[in-house]
Structure 1
């Protein structure tokens, strides 16, 4: 297979680094179809495209050896499997294997072997472990055949008898059983202790809002469905092409579960067609595919159908109580935010849902609480802005309700209660540009022209509403490694075992490298998505630029310093008289040569060939007895970060138009003003925020998993009935980034924008719907029937 070009054309001569709006360097590969995803690899593809000269362990396996798996899912919500008759399937020509709990291979017996890096507390799910059925849609068999169509047909021939038991899938029925969740899951911070006496302050407040809100289950539906291709080699090693947000997490999981030796499994994930949290944990298709590949000693591909995408982790349903009390002047006296979210019977999943209330606003009396309740469903999982997307919705709606009660402008109320420091942690912010987000977002939107009275703005048969909300997300950094290799031709190869789930990682890392070394983008290749590369964390939480980007920056700085030393020692008289700091600061690499930037002034009169202050990299490295320069570094968070609270903030303004007779809602425009530190690529960053806005529109108006609780089953498990925004549902989206300097968050000063785009959008839309109609909807999604109901 030919090498996939991951460079941006037309940028060969100009210096293009951090802060430049560039198209994606991987864009050509994606639009021309040369980008390979997990289910695109054939067994004889040869060298992996991101390791251009590496010998691929599967190169000698013929494509016709590839076989296909189809997963059979349970037809009941809870109970046990009485029997599985696979005789008809196995008698079908071309069917090679039917795996069930009765004939699966022996695997790791202890729970800890099945826990991946972000597993919550409890017992991890093990597919085909025994005859117990935990939830509707649980995998109960895997059929392997010579074609996908044959495997799917053979799966329909299985005869499975069940013994069902009573089940519960309605969160509202089990609220009384809720309990504080385990804190084992990384990233879950339990609510801080109460500050003051919130309920007493609420009772004495001049103005109060006290209400319940709910958000439904939302399912992951990225463009690329989950799947993998597992390829065994004759030496007992395996290459796994997997849709994942962390190749190292996946590799570690497979090694522990199957008892492989270190290095026996290599995980590759060069391109991911959207993941948004669904790829943080290994999904059940992965161990099933590995079981089959190890049993048959043949390459196996297992992919999920769109319907099966509804049978694993999801955004949990929540029921939330928010109460706000304010003084006569609008200053908050009390904040109460309590939530109950769902989890499975076997694991203890929880999002950070309520903590935001104590961070965004300044109030002397705050009480926050979060509990979970067990249902007969699969364990929920992280979904874009986990916790914040659900938790900020009721908080920001309640702030809007409080503004109405006080007769204040909703924006003025938020500005009045702006928090100068994070009271949850009792720490100052490393930076917080929220006030600028309010000001610039309001100006761009035209908020000053808003008529305060509900139902007072109209165009034709449509009521017009304007609403706004605050958004917040954490700014995080974690340990990461990167390697930078400069060859004799002047080409730079930078690598890290991170991912690009559509966020623009390829582009951002290429720009960071170009910025440090002053090398044209066309001469830089960034390599990711391979567990054999330098260590990187999962791509999630908006920390990839902060973490991996800092490692790339450090590796390139180190390489630049070393090149300066070699240039001074082996570059000749023109460089020997300059100190290494000057050389490092002024040199540039073009067309395989190192030269000083000060030469640009004489470029019309001097060529590289006739000047002493220019040298071919090949000659320089030869003089230093080197073939290439190779630097690898590991970067960890600075200890100084512990002295601050680090966050990303936004102000979201939304305009809706509501058909008064039909209740149909259109989001005609959204302005999102974001303070996210230094923006590496304004184009891809704005693209991420705009995508988050679309998610927020879906959360507010469309997405809703419909359960038949008598069956314990999701009934709208398809894209015809599980509604998500399409082009016609999305109006104008205007994204602006507020200038924000932060030298604490990481060496780059970048905070990440993957999550912040969705936070607050649903609330801004809900508040706009109220402004348009006078109807307050507290239960998402906001559908026409709710808008046409009597005012609440």
Structure 2
């Protein structure tokens, strides 16, 4: 057995199940009494339903029910009953609530049949007559009605108050840049579409849901339908990607539960790819960044203002502008963030919500400032390096961003960059090199975990947290294996079940630090229990051994100074007459530490692009992403997370764009044929560098990695495009028509 698993490159323990197709997802669990529901989506964006024609649909063989707002189980309609852990202020959307239409594609009916094919065929026969009203889906059309949200969203800090005199400093600055920035609406589009399978078990519900938090979903179902807590269990053992779309329960869950309660049988509802464009997305945000600096490029003023879209029924909020007050040192800063209501579904958290958007605008503006001041873009960032978080006036718990710049630049070959735009070329291609900074908060949340050791030497670690593809199963197994000195094959991990010890939604890059710390604490308690039983054995060689004088390895507890004096876990349990022992632990972030320090992950992203001078086609040929995120638990899964984030950043920079039809109030390209994401041909050489960083924010010394990979990636690509072409495109994605 190796000395330790944590810190190595451990293959995914759930990998064999996934590559063999044996891992079951929410829309795959079977039941003998299973019926299938298909959603009917509205064809108008705003208005009300006048009448349904259901005759042809009901006549379809196999149809057992059609639910509309006139024929559905009762649900509670007060806002508190519908608030989930990720909900913004307002009244969350309730499908089939009434005749009102508040966005295009809103579910207006659910057809339930004995087979999926029958339900799909009947759903196509449902006819709905509407009274349509004009809809506005472009936030720019609502700019004049933007407002400061009266109620702040939990967990999303508002912009800090202004510091210094940003307006005066900007006016006096010898070097100034100012620009408007915008990123196209992006939809999450994970590989697995949203699905819910609700098993009816004699009045009790077992729910398989595509979700990032089973305890959140359980509370949502219990509160919405007024059910006893013991009557609902939610499971989500595997999630085929989510990127934030699974933080909140989506409407297919509510519809599946409605149908199961009405029919008293099991029901499955799976959304189509088209319907994946009918809810959460990265919000359309209008940003203006103005920077003032001295002749040497040192910042004298930062102003960053944003107007983000939200729905008519909720005030969705993100921390968009806050990053501009902490990434670089500046004494004169003004930040503002307002909302404007549009006739779409509520936006949602999408990988590094707020930071991906706000840091893009900041990093593009910093790049513009570097050219205006005639300072190398990397050197300008170093000259404005922040040694403390000026937003909250705190030192950083750890910050190795300077090392990220240095190591990333060396690996990338930044020193070979010619400073002038359009000065590097190869054949018909213009070559450009760009750099950007990334930053994301190192968050943690209360989690509980249970560790159970059986007499045969097998260990189980259980927590209700999720694995959305990030590798949670694997890191928990690594932590537990090291804690008790067992082979990782002897460790089983159970997650994604609301009956397990408490965990909130998995998001914000907090799962590894939080669930991992809880698991380590539970295993530490288990070590004490093992030693207690070992010391109590007759003629025990460990009778007087203290916990810090023994080691746990190879299924045995031994004296550190004399490893031959040891007792097996099995013998310790047998002597105590126990077939199994277990320990539970509750982790909570150290509030005193959080009051004293600001904790963030950081990155330096370097990108090389080649632009066809005649066609304007951009290819990203190289990216180096240098990451400082505390201790790395698993080099393999950690690298995978950064690769995925970088690829999403390439998509944001060059490909992804949900195109609104401003006349009809809907998104036009709601399919993978027209909504472009990076393919294999678009992704070439990506190098990931992890910079050593010591942090004491949690017992493991780790920070999350799920978000930091995407932050700054789009800006690095966009900055490289400017260096290649000399043309600054401030609205993403950068498509050929914008360069020609």
TM-score, reference length from structure 2: 0.98
String of CA shifts for 1:286-316, please: whole Å, max 9, x gaps.
Answer: 0100000111111100000000000001000
> Any idea what SS the aligned residue of 1:573 has?
coil
What's the counterpart of residue 8 of structure 1? none
Q: Is 1:17–2:5 an aligned residue pair?
A: yes
Change (3 A) 1:172 1:571: farther
> Any idea what SS the aligned residue of 1:381 has?
coil
Q: Give the C-alpha shift of residue 86 in structure 1.
A: 1.1
User: Which of the residues 496, 504, 508 maps onto 1:537?
Assistant: 504
CA distance in 2, matches of 1:573, 1:486: 21
Q: Is 1:104–2:72 an aligned residue pair?
A: yes
Choose 239-248 or 166-175, whichever is displaced more.
166-175
Q: Is the 8 A contact 2:72 2:262 kept in 1?
A: no
String of CA shifts for 1:41-62, please: whole Å, max 9, x gaps.
Answer: 002xxxxxxxxxxxxxxxxxxx
Q: After TM superposition, list the pairs within 5 Å mapping 1:630-709 onto structure 2.
A: 630-639=582-591, 640-709=593-662
Q: After TM superposition, list the pairs within 5 Å mapping 1:41-52 onto structure 2.
A: 41-43=29-31
> Any idea what SS the aligned residue of 1:687 has?
helix
Q: Give the C-alpha shift of residue 19 in structure 1.
A: 0.5
User: Which of the residues 660, 676, 692 maps onto 1:739?
Assistant: 692
Q: Give the C-alpha shift of residue 619 in structure 1.
A: 2.9
CA distance in 2, matches of 1:295, 1:564: 54
User: Which of the residues 424, 438, 444 maps onto 2:411?
Assistant: 444
Q: Give the C-alpha shift of residue 598 in structure 1.
A: 6.7
Q: Is 1:749–2:716 an aligned residue pair?
A: no
Any stretches of 5+ residues in structure 1 without a counterpart? 1-12, 44-62, 601-610
CA distance in 2, matches of 1:131, 1:581: 67
What's the counterpart of residue 553 of structure 2? 588
Q: Is 1:628–2:593 an aligned residue pair?
A: no
> Any idea what SS the aligned residue of 2:87 has?
coil
Q: Is the 8 A contact 2:549 2:560 kept in 1?
A: no
> Any idea what SS the aligned residue of 1:403 has?
helix
Q: Is the 8 A contact 1:315 1:382 kept in 2?
A: yes
What's the counterpart of residue 355 of structure 1? 322
Change (3 A) 1:489 1:571: farther
Change (3 A) 1:182 1:117: farther
Any stretches of 5+ residues in structure 2 without a counterpart? none
String of CA shifts for 1:627-664, please: whole Å, max 9, x gaps.
Answer: 21210011111122211111001000000000000000
User: Which of the residues 223, 230, 250 maps onto 2:198?
Assistant: 230
Q: Is the 8 A contact 1:121 1:182 kept in 2?
A: no
String of CA shifts for 1:445-499, please: whole Å, max 9, x gaps.
Answer: 0101110011111111111000000000000111000000001011000000000
Q: Give the C-alpha shift of residue 143 in structure 1.
A: 0.1
User: Which of the residues 84, 95, 120 maps onto 1:116?
Assistant: 84
Q: Is the 8 A contact 1:88 1:157 kept in 2?
A: yes
Q: CA RMSD in A?
A: 1.2
Q: Is 1:245–2:212 an aligned residue pair?
A: yes
Q: Which runs of 4+ in 1 moved over 4 A?
A: 593-600
Q: Give the C-alpha shift of residue 599 in structure 1.
A: 7.0
User: Which of the residues 271, 276, 290 maps onto 1:309?
Assistant: 276
CA distance in 2, matches of 1:216, 1:763: 14
What's the counterpart of residue 576 of structure 1? 543
What's the counterpart of residue 371 of structure 1? 338
String of CA shifts for 1:608-640, please: whole Å, max 9, x gaps.
Answer: xxx7x3444333212223221210011111122
Q: After TM superposition, list the pairs within 5 Å mapping 1:195-234 onto structure 2.
A: 195-234=163-202
Q: Is the 8 A contact 1:385 1:473 kept in 2?
A: yes
Q: After TM superposition, list the pairs within 5 Å mapping 1:451-466 onto structure 2.
A: 451-466=418-433
User: Which of the residues 489, 509, 517 maps onto 1:550?
Assistant: 517
CA distance in 2, matches of 1:587, 1:412: 49
Q: Is 1:728–2:716 an aligned residue pair?
A: no
CA distance in 2, matches of 1:715, 1:506: 38
Q: Give the C-alpha shift of residue 88 in structure 1.
A: 1.4
> Any idea what SS the aligned residue of 1:393 has?
helix
What's the counterpart of residue 567 of structure 1? 534
> Any idea what SS the aligned residue of 2:326 has?
helix
> Any idea what SS the aligned residue of 1:401 has?
helix
Q: Provide the aligned length of Structure 1 versus Structure 2.
A: 739
Q: Is the 8 A contact 1:588 1:596 kept in 2?
A: no
CA distance in 2, matches of 1:570, 1:539: 42
What's the counterpart of residue 262 of structure 1? 229
What's the counterpart of residue 6 of structure 1? none
What's the counterpart of residue 389 of structure 1? 356
CA distance in 2, matches of 1:755, 1:85: 46
What's the counterpart of residue 522 of structure 1? 489
TM-score, reference length from structure 1: 0.92
> Any idea what SS the aligned residue of 2:584 has?
strand
CA distance in 1, matches of 2:152, 2:169: 33
What's the counterpart of residue 775 of structure 1? 727
Q: Is the 8 A contact 2:530 2:569 kept in 1?
A: no
What's the counterpart of residue 320 of structure 1? 287
Q: Is 1:33–2:41 an aligned residue pair?
A: no
CA distance in 2, matches of 1:696, 1:209: 24
> Any idea what SS the aligned residue of 1:667 has?
strand
CA distance in 2, matches of 1:437, 1:514: 31
Q: Is the 8 A contact 1:571 1:615 kept in 2?
A: no
What's the counterpart of residue 56 of structure 1? none
Q: Is the 8 A contact 2:451 2:523 kept in 1?
A: yes
